[in-house]
Amino acid sequence: MEKNRVIKLISLILVIVIIAISTVCFATEQGIMPISESEGNPISEEGEVSVPDDEEIEEIDRSEWVNSDAYLFDDDIVVNRIVDGNVFAMGQTVTITEEVGGDVFVFADKVIIDGGYIYSSIFAVANEIEINGLVYDLYASAKTITIGEKGIINRDMKATADTINIDGKIGRDVYLNVRELNISEQSIIQGNLEYTSSTEASIPEEVVGKEIKYKPEAITTTQSVQSTILSYIGDLAKALIYALVVILLALWLAPKFTEKIKKVTGTDIAISLGIGLIACIVTGIVSLILLFTVLGIPLMCTFMVMLFLLLSISKAIVAMSISGIITNKAKIEGKMKFVLIALLIVFAIWAIGEIPYFSIGGIFKIIVGIIGVGLVLTNIVNKKSKEIVNENK
Residues 251-275: pLDDT tens digits? 888 888 888 888 888 888 888 888 8
Provide the pLDDT confidence category of residue 19 given band limits of 50, 70 and 90: very low
Indicate whether 25 pLDDT > 80: no
Tell me the percentage of the chain whose pLDDT exceeds 70.
74
Residue 387 has pLDDT above 50, yes or no: no
At residue 228 the predicted structure's pLDDT band, cuts being 50, 70 and 90, is low
| Residue 359 CB neighbours (<10 A) | 14
pLDDT of 147 > 90? The answer is: yes
* pLDDT tens string 279-292: 888 887 887 787 77
Distance between CA atoms of 148 and 187, rounded to whole angstroms? 9
Nearest of 371, 375, 378, 314 to residue 346 by alpha carbon: 314
Q: Where are the domains of the chain?
A: 60-216, 221-392
Lowest mean pLDDT among 35-49, 99-113, 168-182: 35-49
Of the candidates 86, 90, 75, which has an alpha carbon nearest to the alpha carbon of residue 16?
A: 90
Least Cα distance to 30 among 65, 67, 61 occurs for 67
21-25 long-range contacts, CB within 8 A, separation 24+:
21/301, 22/86, 22/88, 22/103, 22/105, 22/123, 23/69, 23/86, 23/88, 23/297, 24/301
User: Does pLDDT of 145 surpass 90?
Assistant: yes
Highest mean pLDDT among 46-60, 340-354, 358-372: 340-354
Q: Which of 40-44, 45-49, 299-303, 386-390 has the lowest mean pLDDT?
A: 386-390
pLDDT of residue 382: 55
- The pLDDT, as a whole number, for residue 226 is 58
Helix, strand, coil share of the chain (percent; to 5): 50, 25, 25
pLDDT of residue 175: 94
pLDDT over 90 at 309, yes or no: no
Taking the C-alpha atoms of residue 331 and residue 256, their distance in angstroms, rounded to an integer, is 20
d(CA 102, CA 26): 9
| Most confident among 315-324, 346-355, 359-368 (mean pLDDT) | 315-324
| 333 — pLDDT class (breaks 50, 70, 90) | confident
The chain-wide mean pLDDT, for the chain, equals 78
pLDDT tens-digit series, residues 41-96: 455 544 444 544 544 444 444 456 778 888 887 789 999 989 988 888 878 899 99
pLDDT of residue 188: 93
Work out the average pLDDT over 135-157: 93
Closest CA to 170 of 156, 180, 158: 156
Q: Pick the range with the lowest mean pLDDT from 60-64, 167-171, 303-307, 387-391.
A: 387-391
* Statement: residue 189 has pLDDT above 90: yes
Distances (CA, A) of 55 to 36, 98, 134, 284: 16, 18, 20, 47
